[in-house]
Amino acid sequence: MPRENRDVRPFVDLAELESMWAECVTIRALPKTSSASEPIICPAWSTKRVEPQTLATADVHLHMPSDQVVMPMLKIAETFAKNLGLKDVSAFSVVLHATSPFLRFTDVLLRCNMHELEHWRGGLSLVGSGKRPRSLQLPHHGTRFDLMVVLNRTLKKSPGMPWRLGTWLAHLQFTFANPSEGIGFTPKPLTDELREEFGVSKGSLFYPRVRPSQPDWQRANYFDDFGEFYVDSDVLDHLAASPREHQSAVVQTQIFLHALNFLVMEFQRDERRDTISIAEINDGLMGRLLRVVSGESQDELEAWLDVLRREPTKFMAALESASDIKNVMRRGLGAMRAGA
């Protein structure tokens, strides 16, 4: 969900409440690996890099520092409700969405009336005691959280005031991302019609291609700026329906690696590869590719750039290692044997 520019919103909203939220509300992931583990804290409008298996098993909380902030928030909302001609805040709901950017589905983790903020008691678990939400099951592609106050019914129209059902009045966003997935690509469904258009075999599972409008990787910041990555439409539907399966994790990792390997091949085809410097690619797409396997030091980046130039198969092997494909595959094969 893109963040709207408040300067151009055609009505007043809960900007003061949003500012208060931004100062004190965080999303926290408490790793299950050790009782002594420190929580991973994500403030509003920021991104925290979290290892895939940590996010897949962590206890995730929406956190407030104390109950003392709830009453001032309700006061702000009550004043705003009166300005809208309402008796109370019952027309306002608090909603928290969790989205998988990779598979493009969204879970509603929280929906409550503004009055129920009093029961947050400093925060609440987003995992619960039942089945883990799909958006928190995916081990490789992160989760985006959108916390909003929205109108839960249509109001009488009034100049400069919100009235449509579903209009958000305050909005914060939090993102947990995979440390190995900074290249920014979104798979597109590959249908039989597209296979025919692209001239690829009917049985093909993946098909990456350079975007016709952006053939130069050096001008791209992310994969989607430079390329398009197509995945069989039935496979994408299965991943969306069964993200928790170990076999799904195998396919997700394979998709990720295919996209990275496509970039390696495109780099090898470019005549500039032997003269390009770290400074020229550091902030762009190829700099992101290097950081899948490299640390941030100049020496390490230079060393991996040399491997990318001269030993692309060794670089691809390092990409596999960084994606943890060996353990992902082992778990997937184990699940297949158990189900046989």
Confirm if 214 and 220 have CB atoms less than 8 A apart.
Answer: yes
* Cα 289 from Cα 154, distance rounded (Å): 47
* Cα 54 from Cα 59, distance rounded (Å): 9
**Terminal Cα-to-Cα distance of the chain (whole angstroms):** 42
Q: What are phi and psi of 310, to 5 degrees?
A: -100, -25
What sign does the dihedral 54-55-59-65 (CA atoms) show?
A: positive
- The whole-angstrom distance between residue 224's C-alpha and the CA centroid of its chain comes to 15
200-222: per-residue pLDDT in tens? 999 999 999 998 776 678 778 88
Regarding beta strands 46-49 and 168-177, do their DSSP bridges make them parallel or antiparallel, or are they unpaired? Answer: parallel
35-51: per-residue pLDDT in tens? 556 888 988 888 777 76
- In three-state secondary structure terms, 113 is strand
Confirm if 257 and 183 have CB atoms less than 8 A apart.
Answer: no
Angle between helical axes of 298-310 and 285-293 (0-180°, round to 10) = 100
Regarding beta strands 206-210 and 188-190, do their DSSP bridges make them parallel or antiparallel, or are they unpaired? Answer: unpaired
- Map out the domains of the chain as residue ranges: 6-177, 188-339
* Cα 92 from Cα 79, distance rounded (Å): 12
Instruction: Give every CB contact of residue 99 below 8 A, 6+ residues apart in sequence.
Output: 1, 105, 106, 107, 135, 143, 144, 145, 146
| pLDDT (average), residues 76-83 | 93
Q: Is the pLDDT of residue 305 over 70?
A: yes
Q: What is the pTM assigned to this prediction?
A: 0.59
**Smallest Cα–Cα separation from 27: which of 181, 176, 148, 137?**
176
* Cα 237 from Cα 112, distance rounded (Å): 30
98-155: per-residue pLDDT in tens? 987 666 678 899 999 988 877 776 678 898 767 888 888 765 567 889 999 999 999 9
* Cα 152 from Cα 73, distance rounded (Å): 18
Q: Is the pLDDT of residue 10 over 70?
A: no
pLDDT band with cut points at 50, 70 and 90 for residue 28: very high
162-189: per-residue pLDDT in tens? 999 999 999 999 988 775 556 777 889 9
Q: Is the pLDDT of residue 67 over 70?
A: no
